[in-house]
């Protein structure tokens, strides 16, 4: 399953069924919402719109590989907003190529009302 929509500030957002469920903080997660344009472009700090120049060229499938790194993990949320928990983790890139093994910072949400879903907001270089 793959759905796509565009948010005028954050670009294309993909909703995908994971090829393999992951277990994160005691929940079985089978679906991901991925802000793919936000990941690849980043946001302008002043306008909060997408940057024109790309900082990476990850695919939705690549981001799914990053999410697989969370399988079996228990992590304390950085922030809570209502029923959402936001996380920030440092992970080594699992994608072969120029970024392989380099550290990235991944920011994502989980929502207590949608326990089978993870929302990947952004992923950017941590070096």
Say if residue 65 is exposed, middle or buried (CB neighbours under 10 Å; 0-12, 13-18, 19+): middle
pLDDT at 93 over 60: yes
In the chain, the number of structural domains is: 1
- Residue written as token pair 């809570």: 80
- Residue 78 lies in domain: 2-125
Q: E strands along the chain, which residues?
A: 2-7, 11-24, 27-34, 79-81, 84-92, 103-111, 114-125
pTM for the predicted model, two decimal places: 0.89
Residue 8 tokens read as 């005028």
Over residues 59-88, the pLDDT tens digits come to 999 999 999 999 999 999 999 999 999 999
Residue 9 binned pLDDT confidence (cut-offs 50, 70, 90) = confident
């Amino acid at each position: 399953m793959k759905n796509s929509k565009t948010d005028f500030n954050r670009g294309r957002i993909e909703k995908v069924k994971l090829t393999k469920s992951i277990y994160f903080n005691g929940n079985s997660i089978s679906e991901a919402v991925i802000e793919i344009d936000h990941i690849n472009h980043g946001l302008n700090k002043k306008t909060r719109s997408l940057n024109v120049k790309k900082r990476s060229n990850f695919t939705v499938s690549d981001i799914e590989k990053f999410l697989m790194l969370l399988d079996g993990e228990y992590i304390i949320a950085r922030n809570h907003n209502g029923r959402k928990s936001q996380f920030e983790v440092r992970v080594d890139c699992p994608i072969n190529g120029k970024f392989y093994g380099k550290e990235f910072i991944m920011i994502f949400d989980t929502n207590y009302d949608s326990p089978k879903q993870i929302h990947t907001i952004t992923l950017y270089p941590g070096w």
